[in-house]
Amino acid sequence: MWIGRICIFGWLTAWFAGFFMDFNSHRNYVAFLERKLRKASKFLPHGKFTVRKLMKRSLRSTLRNK
């Protein structure tokens, strides 16, 4: 379950960084995390309910409105 730990850590850092970074920097940081998630989860199967889609949704939920 190492991928789950990485996902939780990424979500926590994105959520925490949202309080201290300005709007554009935080969006860039979340995009960076999404690229790293894609690279780390290449081996996972594609499908409707994958960890990758769940993590992308949760990362995007940390974005705040401008």
**Residue 34 confidence (pLDDT):** 84
CA distances from 7 to 13, 24, 35, 57, 60 (A): 10, 22, 13, 11, 13
**How far is it, in rounded angstroms, from Cα 36 to Cα 9?**
13
What's the pLDDT tens digit per position in 5-62? 877 888 888 888 888 888 888 889 888 888 888 887 777 777 766 777 878 888 888 8
Which comes out higher in pLDDT, residue 4 or 34?
Answer: 34
pTM (2 d.p.): 0.74
What's the pLDDT tens digit per position in 33-43? 888 888 877 77
